[in-house]
């Protein structure tokens, strides 16, 4: 493992909350100091998630101190280890899901050992940067929150995004009947290709009628609640569970739809996960070994294009997997 030259690194820095114009690549950002229980990761690829844009905009429950480096997901190589780290050594391929102040749109980041995981050789660094938040969110939604059981019917509203695709793969591996929606033919083919039993185009004016005519759902994962939540309430079976993963505005619903089915609607935020939910990482690592964890990378951006990636993940059409940013070469 090459030594670090100097004490500065390249990183995207946000000095005030707001638009993507506040995301600037700076060349003289101090390399973070490693803690005893931390791992310094040489970041090769950083993943982009919608939550990153909410934080950067300043519209999130818990905001970092300014200035800060955006990014939660990353893949790269172990550069250094703290004195109390036991599971990794310099040079190991890893992926991370960062939860602290130090982001991943930087050449180096320091991460608690519990948030670092081995990256199998069968997966690329871009795929590694696509695991953390998407797969841990999918697990938390399906199993921690919705308590999905084998053979239950699950509707994934917006299944062609990174969380949706992770949920399809995870649900099929567990033995769920998965129905997904996407907005384009390409997205539908992608959802079908990773294992969904049925796929609908949610831009088809008649798709909701088609869903209503079929068997209803035990679990619904909702990526755009401000558009679909009212429909979800009608599509749930008695004592069904809808988990809201994403929403971009308010929505009007009829509370009577809860009464007839005794259904439940709940939210999920992976950044709120407790240490007791480490079983999600174990499940995902088992999935990597078994071969069903296959992250889909839609597009790779350069570090100077990180702002464009933030724009595209919110305003792009025809979602088809994960957006990632290449930070540096190995």
pLDDT tens readout for residues 67-115: 999 999 999 999 999 999 999 999 999 999 876 667 999 999 999 999 9
For residues 166 and 284, the answer to whether their CB atoms sit within 8 Å is no
**Is residue 158 scored above 70 in pLDDT?**
yes
Claim to verify: residue 150 and residue 267 sit in the same structural domain: yes
Claim to verify: residue 144 and residue 265 sit in the same structural domain: yes
How far apart are the C-alpha atoms of 190 and 158, rounded to whole Å? 12
Is 3 a member of any domain?
Answer: no
**Can you list the alpha helix ranges (DSSP code H) found in 150-278?**
162-174, 185-193, 207-213, 225-235, 256-261
Claim to verify: residue 163 and residue 230 sit in the same structural domain: yes
Is 236 a member of any domain?
Answer: yes
- pLDDT for 247 equals 81
Claim to verify: residue 170 and residue 229 sit in the same structural domain: yes
In angstroms and rounded to an integer, the radius of gyration of the C-alpha atoms of the chain is: 20
**Is residue 274 scored above 60 in pLDDT?**
no
For residues 201 and 207, the answer to whether their CB atoms sit within 8 Å is yes
C-alpha dihedral sign at 200, 202, 206, 210: positive
Q: How far is CA 198 from CA 163, 180, 246, 268, in A?
A: 17, 6, 22, 25
Q: How many structural domains compose the chain?
A: 2
CA dihedral 305, 294, 223, 181 (to 10 degrees): 120
| Helix, strand, coil fractions of the chain, as percent rounded to 5 | 35, 30, 40
Is 166 a member of any domain?
Answer: yes
Claim to verify: residue 81 and residue 50 sit in the same structural domain: yes
- pLDDT for 2 equals 56
**pLDDT averaged over every residue in the chain:** 92
Residue percentage of the chain with pLDDT more than 70: 95
Q: What is the CATH number of the domain that holds 200?
A: 3.40.50.720
The pLDDT confidence band at residue 197, using thresholds 50, 70 and 90, is very high
- pLDDT for 265 equals 93
Claim to verify: residue 119 and residue 154 sit in the same structural domain: no
- pLDDT for 271 equals 67
Claim to verify: residue 114 and residue 146 sit in the same structural domain: no
Q: Which domain holds residue 82?
A: 8-131+295-326
- pLDDT for 252 equals 87
pLDDT digits (tens, 9 = 90+) for 58-70: 988 889 999 999 9
Counting every residue written for the chain, the total comes to: 330
Is 277 a member of any domain?
Answer: no
Claim to verify: residue 32 and residue 89 sit in the same structural domain: yes
Q: What is the CATH number of the domain that holds 112?
A: 3.90.180.10
Is 1 a member of any domain?
Answer: no
Claim to verify: residue 139 and residue 262 sit in the same structural domain: yes
- pLDDT for 101 equals 64
Q: Count H helices, E strands: the chain?
A: 10, 15
Claim to verify: residue 124 and residue 160 sit in the same structural domain: no
Claim to verify: residue 245 and residue 259 sit in the same structural domain: yes
**Is residue 35 scored above 90 in pLDDT?**
yes
Is 2 a member of any domain?
Answer: no
Is 283 a member of any domain?
Answer: no
How far apart are the C-alpha atoms of 285 and 141, rounded to whole Å? 17
Claim to verify: residue 116 and residue 212 sit in the same structural domain: no
Between strands 322-326 and 297-302, the pairing is: parallel
Is 280 a member of any domain?
Answer: no
127 secondary structure, DSSP code? H
């Amino acid at each position: 493992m090459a030594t670090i030259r100097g004490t500065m690194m390249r990183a995207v820095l946000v000095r005030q909350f707001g638009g993507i114009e506040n995301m600037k690549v700076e060349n003289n950002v101090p390399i973070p100091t490693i803690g005893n229980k931390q791992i310094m990761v040489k970041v090769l690829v950083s993943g982009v998630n919608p939550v990153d844009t909410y934080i950067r905009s300043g519209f999130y429950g818990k905001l970092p101190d300014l200035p800060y480096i955006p990014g939660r997901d990353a893949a790269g190589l172990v550069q250094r280890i703290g004195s109390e780290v036991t599971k990794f050594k310099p040079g190991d391929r890893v992926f991370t899901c960062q939860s602290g102040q130090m982001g991943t749109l930087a050449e180096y980041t320091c991460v608690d050992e519990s948030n670092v995981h081995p990256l199998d050789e069968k997966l690329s660094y871009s795929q590694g940067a696509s695991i953390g938040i998407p797969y841990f969110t999918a697990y938390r939604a399906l199993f921690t929150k919705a308590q999905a059981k084998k053979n239950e019917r699950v509707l994934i509203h917006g299944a062609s995004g990174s969380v949706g695709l992770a949920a399809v793969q995870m649900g099929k591996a567990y033995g769920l009947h998965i129905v997904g929606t996407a907005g384009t033919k390409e997205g539908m083919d992608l959802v079908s290709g990773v294992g969904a039993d049925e796929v609908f185009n949610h831009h088809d004016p008649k798709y909701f009628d088609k869903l209503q005519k079929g068997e209803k759902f035990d679990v619904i994962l909702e990526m755009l609640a401000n558009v679909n939540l009212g429909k979800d309430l009608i599509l749930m079976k008695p004592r069904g569970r809808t988990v809201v993963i994403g929403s971009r505005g308010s929505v009007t619903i009829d509370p009577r739809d809860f009464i007839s089915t005794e259904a439940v609607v709940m939210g999920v935020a992976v950044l709120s996960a407790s240490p007791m939910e480490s079983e999600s990482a174990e499940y995902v690592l088992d999935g990597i070994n078994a071969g069903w964890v296959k992250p889909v990378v839609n597009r790779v951006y350069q570090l100077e294009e990180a702002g464009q990636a933030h724009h595209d993940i919110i305003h792009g059409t025809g979602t088809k997997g994960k957006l990632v940013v290449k930070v540096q070469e190995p």
